[in-house]
Chain A
Amino acid sequence: MFSGGKFELTVSLEEFKRIKRRAKDLGKNPELEMLEETLMALRYMYLKERTTELKKKLEEMQEHYRSLLEFKERAERDKEYLMGVRLELSRENRELEEEVGK
């Protein structure tokens, strides 16, 4: 609450001229309804912009997440394959060494 107080506002010279022209009526007849509509519209625009940004960010992250998931699945399959190859090569090399030793 700001009762019986003072409030200061700094504006540009151009804005000052515009406010001065409107000053007479401002205190007596404040256009609060229009102010509310304007604030509501500005809030709407902000939310719209923020929603668009977040949507884009989410889509990018989902895409990145999907490719990471694909990589993980590929790496799991590869790990299984590599372990199989290692086992097979180990067995074969042992047999070949035995053959060489004969």
Chain B
Amino acid sequence: MTVSVTVRAGRFKRLKIDFSDETFSQIQRLAKKYGFRTDEALKILLLGDFLDENVNEKGLEHLEARLEDLERELYELEGKWSPLKFKTYYLAMDNQNLAIQISAMIAQNKRLRERLGKPRPDYSKIESLIHYYLQFSGKT
């Protein structure tokens, strides 16, 4: 038994090439083994577009293992990413609320000190922190 491959180009060009069942199933097997469709492998064979890259099974297996490792690492990192982002967001929001409260308390502190004629302490460090968290919009 044979498998008849019809090659078409344009509307009228046709060519028939017969392969034995065994050959055709070998082409299918090779295509599947290396992750290609049968028509892709067949086209390479028919065109003779061969590569001579000196790659062996061991090199391929090594690369596949490396890829699996990278995919696993990425998956694990993505798993840790969301809870951290969630936690950080709420932490920054807490700080924003604290900044709002402290800002009002500083204003009150300045007013009271002024009434009592007391010197005003240096609020610059806390004010810059307040400014930092008031600008926080959650885009981390």
Query: Which A positions have Cβ atoms within 8 angstroms of B?
Result: 1-13, 15-16, 18-20, 22-23, 26-27, 30-32, 34-48, 50-51, 54-55, 57-58, 61-62, 65, 68-69, 71-72, 75-76, 78-79, 81-83, 85-86, 89-90, 92-93, 96-97, 99-100
Contacts and interface: CB of A to CB of B under 8 A. Distances in A.
Contacts of B87: 72
B120 interface: no
Given A45-B53, A96-B112, 13 more contacts: A4-B21, A6-B5, A7-B39, A16-B7, A18-B48, A32-B26, A37-B55, A41-B51, A43-B36, A54-B74, A71-B92, A82-B98, A89-B105
B131 interface: no
A92 B66 CA distance: 61
Contacts of A61: 74, 77-78, 81
A35 to B, nearest CB: 5
Nearest to B18: A27
Nearest to A8: B6
Interface of B: 1-10, 13, 15, 17-21, 23-28, 30-31, 33-36, 38-39, 41-53, 55-57, 59-60, 63-64, 66-67, 70-71, 73-74, 77-78, 80-81, 84-85, 87-88, 91-92, 94-95, 98-99, 101-102, 105-106, 108-109, 112-113, 115-116, 118, 126, 129, 133, 140
B91 A79 contact: yes
B4 to A, nearest CB: 5
Looking at chain B's contact residues, the main secondary structure is helix
Contacts of A3: 1, 3, 21, 25
A53 B15 CA distance: 41
A68 B84 contact: yes
A18 B73 CA distance: 45
Nearest to B115: A100
A65 B98 contact: no
Contact of A27 (B17, B26, B59, B77): B17
